[in-house]
Amino acid sequence: MSQVTEQPTTEQILAEVERRRANREQAALEAETSAVTSPTAQGVVRAADRLIFWLSKHWLAIANLGAFLYVGIPFLAPVLMFVGWEGPAQAIYTLYRPLCHQLPFRSWYLFGSQFSYTIQELQQLVGPEALVEHGYIGDPAMGFKVAFCQRDVAIYGAILVTGLLYGLVRRKVKPMPLWAYLLFGLVPIALDGGVQFVSYLLPRLTSTITMPLLESNPLRRTVTGILFGLSTVWLAYPNAQEAFDEIRETLQKRFGWK
C-alpha cells in the first residue's frame, strides 16, 4: 500500500520563500562585507551608509532649506542696496546672473513707488539700459529689483511653500499623474514663455515675418510659475519619499538603526 505524501500548505510555501530570500540577502551582505577587507575601507563604507540613512530621514528638510535659501537670497539684494551695502548686494546680483536674465521689466522692485515696471515705463524713466539683461538694478526713487525675475520667484517660491505643506501630509499624497503634470505644470508656462520668446526671436531671424512683441505680464508669469513649481513638487516629492523609505528600511534591517 503506497503512502500518501502530505502537500505543504500555502503558509509553509510562503515561509520557505521568505527564508530563502533572507538567506540570499545574508549571503550577499557577507560577500559585500568580505570584499571590504581593510578597516579603513570598512569605516568609509559604514560612514557612507550612515550618511545615506541620515539623508533618507531628513531629505525633505534639506530640500526645503535649499529652496528657502535659493529664493530668499535674491530678495536680500534689494534690501542691502536700500541700506547702502552695495558691495554685498552686487555680489548677489552677480551670483545669480548665470541663473536668471534679471531683465528689469520682468523683475519685482522693493522700496520704490511700484513693485514692477513695464518696458515703456522703464524706457521713459531709465532709457536703453532698461532692455539689457543684468543691467539696471534700480535707484532710491524707483526701488531696487530682486535678483530673480518674476517667474523664477513664483517657481521657487511655490516649490518652497508646497514643500513645507507636503511635510504635513507626506506618505498620504500620491504622485501627480504625468499627464496632469504636463497639462497643468508644463503647458501653461511653455505657452506663456514660449510665445513671448518666439515674438522676440522671429524679427531677429528674418525680416520677412512681422510679429508684434507679445510681452507677458507679472500676473501671468506668477500664475504659470506657481503652477509649474507646485506640480513639480507634487510629482517629484512623493516619488522621492517612496525611494528614501525603501533605502531606510533596507539599512534598518541590515544594521538595526533607528
Give per-residue pLDDT as tens, 158-181: 999 999 999 999 888 999 999 999
Q: Find the domain containing 66 and state its range.
A: 54-255
- The reply to whether 61 falls in a domain is yes
Q: Within the chain, which residues score under 50 in pLDDT? A: 1
- The reply to whether 19 falls in a domain is no
Number of domains in the chain: 1
Q: Whole-prediction pTM value?
A: 0.80
- The reply to whether 34 falls in a domain is no
**Are the C-beta atoms of residues 130 and 27 closer than 8 Å to each other?**
no
Q: Whole-angstrom Cα distance, residue 9 to residue 70?
A: 58
- The reply to whether 244 falls in a domain is yes
Closest CA to 96 of 37, 156, 47: 156
CA distances from 16 to 8, 20, 203 (A): 10, 6, 72
- The reply to whether 3 falls in a domain is no
In the chain, at which residue ranges do the beta strands (DSSP E only) sit? 107-110, 138-139, 143-149
- The reply to whether 37 falls in a domain is no
Amino acid at 23: N
Closest CA to 147 of 67, 221, 192, 90: 90
- The reply to whether 95 falls in a domain is yes
Task: Starting at the earlier edge strand, list the strands of the sheet with 143-149.
Answer: 107-110, 143-149, 138-139
What pLDDT, on the 0 to 100 scale, is given for residue 1? Answer: 47
Q: Whole-angstrom Cα distance, residue 123 to residue 103?
A: 13
What pLDDT, on the 0 to 100 scale, is given for residue 37? Answer: 57
- The reply to whether 7 falls in a domain is no
**Are the C-beta atoms of residues 89 and 78 closer than 8 Å to each other?**
yes
